Amino acid sequence: MYVGKTLFAQVMEFMPWTSFSRIVHRYQGNAGVRTLSCAEQFRAMAFAQLTWRESLRDIEVSLSANATKLYAMGFRSTVKRSTLADANESRDWRIWADLAALLIRRARKLYVDQALALDLDSTVYALDSSTIDLCLSLFDWAPFRSTKAAIKLHTLLDLRGAIPAFIHISDGKLHDVNVLDMLTFEAGAFYVMDRGYLDFARLYRLHQAGAFFVTRAKSNFNARRVYSAPCDRSEGVICDQRVALGGFYAAHDYPEHMRRIRFKDPDSGKTLVFLTNNTALPALTICALYKQRWQVELFFKWIKQHLRIKKFIGTSENAVKTQIWCAVATYVLIAIVKKELHLDASLYTCLQILSVSVFEKTEISCALQLGELPIKSDGDANQLILFDF
């Protein structure tokens, strides 16, 4: 792979270009294109993500400053900001959504054997959403409040490797619970979610699909105790009960018994009430599963801090979705590189290294490895002594 190539060119070699060509052909992405093909557009957007470029001019200037290296990086002509802007506005965002889905499927196969923090063989998903605030006058297609626009990034995160298994981009008004209608539930898998997804009819459909859910009860949760299992209060589990939902509509939507676990956190002293349809796992394991939900919060925090989705280089719906899906595809591509090269460095470390060295001609497996490199010293060969008091 490494024959004097830049790090960026080596990363791009992990792209499934043949499959990507089929996706582009499906949406006629290169129809009538004379300069900046879809492949070059993705390279430019991936370059912007990896090097933290925040505007079209920033991308143009940075690439122009390294014009002699562009051909080896996959660019057949200089990247003009007007051409890139037109491509983001006009080319179907579904090209990049399908590319991200392709990379996600590949990454999940690589991370399928990665151990969870819990001793559990089942697949565990964390479901949540993150809101990105926008200016209403510029992004009027994404209504949220009377004076603010926003988009929501709904994500189903596979906790093995923190790989997103499902992503949906909506305006800020779409309620989180509606995303449950878009998912195809996997039998035997665990879906961990917060109270915003507490809808008994939808949870019952999940239950009928053979999947398990773990969520928290709201303060007005109405249920009747049917059975209490013995529990060890010294471990923080106050009660472990089977309950029947009270209220006509709740009992109609979820006609079977549900498991309720009341847990007191020994560190914070806060009491939490968990709901689940799994009756086999110990109560403490259910509590630990919900704690793993914070990985999706960390994923959103990481995405917002290290990928360029807080500042958009286009204002139309197509341009914004193009930028987000290219960001997700870049994130998953680096996860693939990390796994296939068996790197010990974290994704954060890999992206930090790439952000300052994409033009370096170093073997990628060496550049992204952890460990301190020895600093060569020339001794006192020709060093002048300026201050010798």
Mean pLDDT of 225-236: 87
Predicted pLDDT at 3: 61
Contact present, 263 and 289 (Cβ < 8 Å): no
Position 305 scores a pLDDT of: 63
Could you tell me which of 257, 190, 266 has the C-alpha nearest to residue 228?
Answer: 257
Per-residue pLDDT band at 46 (split at 50, 70, 90) = very high
What is the pLDDT confidence band of residue 361, given thresholds at 50, 70 and 90?
confident
- For residue 120, how far is the Cα from the chain centroid? 22
In angstroms, the CA 356 to CA 50 distance is 9
Q: What is the pLDDT of residue 351?
A: 80
Name, in order, each residue with C-beta under 8 angstroms of 74's C-beta and a sequence gap of 6 or more. Answer: 9, 12, 39, 40, 43
The string over 180-193, giving b where at least 16 C-beta atoms fall within 10 Å of a residue's C-beta and e elsewhere, is: beebebeeebbbbb
Measured in residues, the chain has a length of: 389
**317: its two tokens:** 């719906």
Q: Please state, in angstroms and rounded to a whole number, the distance separating the CA atoms of residues 152 and 179.
A: 11
300 pLDDT more than 60: yes
pLDDT tier, 263 (very low <50, low <70, confident <90, very high otherwise): very high
pLDDT at 68: 87
Q: Are strands 212-216 and 190-193 parallel, antiparallel or unpaired?
A: parallel
What is the 3-class SS of the chain, one letter each residue? CCCCCCHHHHHHCCCCHHHHHHHHHHCCCCCCCCCCCHHHHHHHHHHHHHHCCCCHHHHHHHHHCCHHHCCCCCCCCCCCHHHHHHHHHHCCCHHHHHHHHHHHHHHHHHCCCCCCCCCCCCCEEEEEEEEEEECCCCCCCCEEECCEEEEEEEEEEECCCCEEEEEEEEECCCCHHHHHHHCCCCCCCEEEECHHHCCHHHHHHHHHCCCEEEEECCCCCCEEEEEEECCCHHHCEEEEEEEEECCHHHHHHCCCCEEEEEEECCCCCCEEEEEECCCCCCHHHHHHHHHCCHHHHHHHHHHHHHCCCCCCCCCCHHHHHHHHHHHHHHHHHHHHHHHHCCCCCCHHHHHHHHHHHCCCCCCHHHHCCCCCCCCCCCCCCCCCCCCCC
pLDDT for 170-213, tens place per residue? 988 899 999 999 999 999 999 999 999 999 999 999 999 999 99
Task: Please state the rounded mean pLDDT for residues 352-368.
Answer: 86
Contact 185, 203 (CB under 8 A): no
Spatial separation of the C-alpha atoms in residues 310 and 307, rounded to whole Å: 8
The rounded distance, in Å, linking the Cα atoms of 183 and 180 is 5
**Cα 388 to Cα 385: distance, rounded to the nearest angstrom:** 6
| Residue 75 or residue 310, greater confidence | 75
Range in 155-159, 172-176, 231-235, 336-340 with the lowest mean pLDDT:
231-235
Task: Look at residue 377 in the predicted model and tell me its pLDDT.
Answer: 47
Burial string for 7-18 (b: 16+ CB within 10 Å, else e) reads: bbbbbbebbeee
Cut 0.85: pTM above it: no
Report whether pLDDT(372) > 70: no
| 25-36 average pLDDT score | 90
Q: What is the mean pLDDT of the chain?
A: 86
User: Which tens digit of pLDDT belongs to each residue from 63-86?
Assistant: 888 888 888 888 888 899 899 999
- pLDDT of res. 315: 82
* Cα Rg of the chain, angstroms: 25
381: alpha, beta or left? (left if phi > 0; alpha if psi -120 to 50):
alpha
